[in-house]
Amino acid sequence: MDRRASSAAPKSANTAKKNRGVKRQLTYGEAIREGLYQAMETDPGVVVIGEGVPDPKAIFETTRGLREKFGADRVLDMPLAENGMTGVCIGAAMCGVRPVMVHQRIDFALLAMDQLINNAAKWHYLFNGQGRVPLVVRVLVGRGWGQGPQHAQSLQALFAHIPGIKVVLPTMAGDAKGMLLEAIQDDNPVVIVEHRWLYNIRGLVPQKPKRERLDRARLIQPGKHVTVAAFSYMVVEALAAAKVLAEYGVELEVIDMRSARPLDMEPVLDSLVKTGLLMVLDIGWATCGVSAEVSTRAVEEGFEHLRKPPKRVTLPDHPVPTSHHLSVDYYPDAETIAREALVLLDKPLPDDESEEVFLRLHRALPRDVPNPDFTGPF
């Protein structure tokens, strides 16, 4: 066995031993790898397939060592045929296989939309409950280093529009593993949206293959002034903003939405009873996006608690340009969130304190690479 082969499971075992008694931390990427490893170990029907799955870069390490352990029949590369191969995986899924497909960019999954929407999403329904498609599709959202208009889109809303598909966006390492395990068990097509900037962030991850529900948002930072419903990487930025604002007496209540379909509004509505103010943060565009859905549901179901219209913090309504000079203001961050929160609250702080908050959250470092200071843990 080559050196890589043994790295997936034993490494986590070592970490566990070393940290006995201490809660165990893994990066988001490691957590995904461990999830895949454990799923393949318990269910011989699970296969992992995608362009680059067994290659030297191993999908940002998430598939490292799997082929050596589980064999080339179950861990495989695929031809550059996103639509056709999605159909192949759907057919296999109907017949007892549990494929986990992975696309290194969500943009490549666009080629597979026909199979996903016309077949995977409809099969169970249209045959009157006969036939199931237990398919998992992992899609990675790119950002930064000039990946530009065709390699850095956040397209979760396209999938979330479709009844019959589940769409989840884990942010925490523990969820990356737990929701992946649950998605593999689920008898429906599940799209897992993974933001590239989450990969090196550490979090608590149980060693056991503990599954996490796909239909639950989670309150992760209590606060009493503004409800912040955030998706994916925006949760990270929201927590950073919340931390600094708290020192000035302004409390954000941050909810990691975790799932775009089904959408769990309960923690948001509960929170609104207390705060009356809502911010919705998404990694994608606003128009017809998941933030539009959250805002609408909040208005429909929690109108009496809202003191102001919901405020969305999303991408500007145009593609992301490649040049870092052009994209410098493209991605909203913790500073943007703090600014918008203070506007919603009718400027509760003296000007000099507000300025101090913004200054502390301001990112002077290049904005097209992940923040090197922040690697977790949560």
Partner 1 sequence: MTQPMQSLPEMYHTMLRIRRVEEALAERYPDQEMRCPMHLCTGQEAVAAGVSIHLRQEDVVFSNHRAHGHYLAKGGSLDAMVAEIYGKSGGCCGGRGGSMHLVDLEAGFLGSAPIVAGTVPLAVGAAWASKLHDRDQVAVVYFGDGCFEEGVLHETMNFASLKQLPVVFVCENNGYSVYTPLAERQPDRPILEIARAHKLSVDEGDGNDVQDVAIRAGKAIQAAREQFKPQFLELHTYRWLEHVGPYEDDHLGYRPAGELKKWRKRCPIQRTAQVLTEEYGWSQADFDKREKWVAKEIEAAFQFSKESPPPDSITASQFVYAE
Work out whether 1 is an interface residue with ligand TPP (CB under 6 A).
no
**Distance, CA of 190 to CA of 172 (rounded, Å):** 18
Work out whether 108 is an interface residue with ligand TPP (CB under 6 A).
yes
103, 124, 151, 305: the active-site residue:
151
Query: Residue 22 or residue 80: which is nearer to ligand TPP going by CB?
Result: 80
Total number of residues that touch ligand TPP (CB under 6 A): 5
Query: Residue 114 or residue 187: which is nearer to partner 1 going by CB?
Result: 114
**Distance, CA of 120 to CA of 86 (rounded, Å):** 9
Handedness of CA 348, 306, 154, 63 (dihedral sign): positive
Smallest distance from the beta carbon of 353 to partner 1, in angstroms? 28
Smallest distance from the beta carbon of 293 to partner 1, in angstroms? 23
Instruction: For the beta carbon of residue 33, count every other beta carbon within 10 angstroms.
Output: 28
Determine which helix (DSSP H) or strand (DSSP E) holds 174, and give its type and residue range.
Answer: helix 173-185
Report how far apart, in Å, the C-alpha atoms of 205 and of each of 5, 140, 180, 195, 349 are. 22, 21, 13, 18, 38
Q: Look up 82 and say whether it is catalytic.
A: yes
User: Which one of residues 34, 51, 68, 335 is an interface residue with ligand TPP (CB under 6 A)?
Assistant: 51
The per-residue b/e assignment along 253-264, b for 16 or more CB within 10 angstroms, e otherwise, is bbbbbbbbbebb
Give which of partner 1, ligand TPP, none residue 324 binds (C-beta under 5 to 8 Å, depending on kind): partner 1
Work out whether 79 is an interface residue with ligand TPP (CB under 6 A).
no
Give which of ligand TPP, partner 1, none residue 208 binds (C-beta under 5 to 8 Å, depending on kind): none
The per-residue b/e assignment along 287-296, b for 16 or more CB within 10 angstroms, e otherwise, is eebbbbbbbe
Instruction: For the beta carbon of residue 328, count every other beta carbon within 10 angstroms.
Output: 12
What is the contact surface with partner 1 in residues (CB under 8 A)? 51-52, 55-57, 77-84, 107-108, 111, 145-151, 316-319, 321-330, 366, 368
Q: Look up 61 and say whether it is catalytic.
A: no
Interacting residues toward ligand TPP by CB under 6 A: 51, 80, 82, 108, 111
Q: Which residues are catalytic?
A: 82, 151
